Amino acid sequence: MIRAELHCHTTASVDGMMTPEGMLRAARLQGINVVAVTDHDTQEGAAEVRRWFAKQGADIQVLVGEERTLDSGCHLMGLFLREPLVATDLAGVVEEVRSQGGLVLVPHPFRRKDGLLGPRGDVEAVRGMADAMEAHNAKGSFEDNERGRALRDWGPVFGGSDAHYEADLGLCVNELDEVGSEGVEGALRAALMGQGAGLRIMARRQKAGSGERKYAPGYYAVRRYAKLPKVLLPGAKKLYRWYWNARFGGRMHPREEIFS
């Protein structure tokens, strides 16, 4: 069985706090055997994770991805990449991903802040451009993910944890029962392009009305009035990482089939 995490961030992301060591421990704990590292605007984290997993002899496949920030502020993901992305406009990023033989994925499509479809949810706007859309994002709100369910009628979908800390890894995974002769990458490619068996999205079912997962909401609420001095930020981030992982990590996440 393939059990894949298709959306996560390392310390290479501006807002990521997951180290390769921590990712390996978390992936093993959650029974994940494929991890797509999709850092914001860089592939350095994916390369570092690949090196570390190989050094440790880990039987976990690492896929290189990138969550690109567009000029509009919206996000678009490329998967199965070989080179860093350069463009920041929608058409340019799509062209770059395609030229590398990669797939174009749309993360958290309905999120107000940076979802490509935004609150209007114009699914037709991306038809012919994206290979698959994230129908369930573990960081997303109940409302956004409910709208994501309808994406099954649009085409291939996937789920993602949108993990920024080790404790978040595996909150939402994608399962595929058979690999076949095409191997792990081939099977995932086929599923994400609608050419093979569909992915089974496994996650904790959300409560109606639940909002988006927020990190350090208290600090961000008062930041405009009292910012931490820059010299203290690295230490504060490490302390918060310890708190988040201690509170929510160290155990298998409960998951059930959200949809397939």
Residues 92 and 68 sit within 8 Å (Cβ to Cβ): no
pLDDT digits (tens, 9 = 90+) for 34-72: 999 999 999 999 999 999 999 999 999 999 999 999 999
Pick the CATH number of 2-259 from 3.50.50.60, 3.40.50.720, 3.20.20.140, 3.20.20.10: 3.20.20.140
Domain boundaries, the chain: 2-259
Nearest-10 Cα torsion for 144, 146, 148, 153:
-150
Mean per-residue pLDDT, 236-247: 94
Angle value at C-alpha 114, between 81 and 71, nearest 5 degrees: 70
**Residue 152 confidence (pLDDT):** 81
Name the residue type at position 141: S
Q: Is the pLDDT of residue 119 over 90?
A: no
pLDDT digits (tens, 9 = 90+) for 139-196: 999 999 999 988 888 889 999 999 999 999 999 999 999 787 889 999 999 999 998 7
**Residue 121 confidence (pLDDT):** 67
Mean per-residue pLDDT, 244-250: 95
Name the nearest CA neighbour of 31 among 253, 189, 180. Answer: 253
Percent of the chain with pLDDT over 90: 79
**Residue 180 confidence (pLDDT):** 79
Average pLDDT, the chain: 93
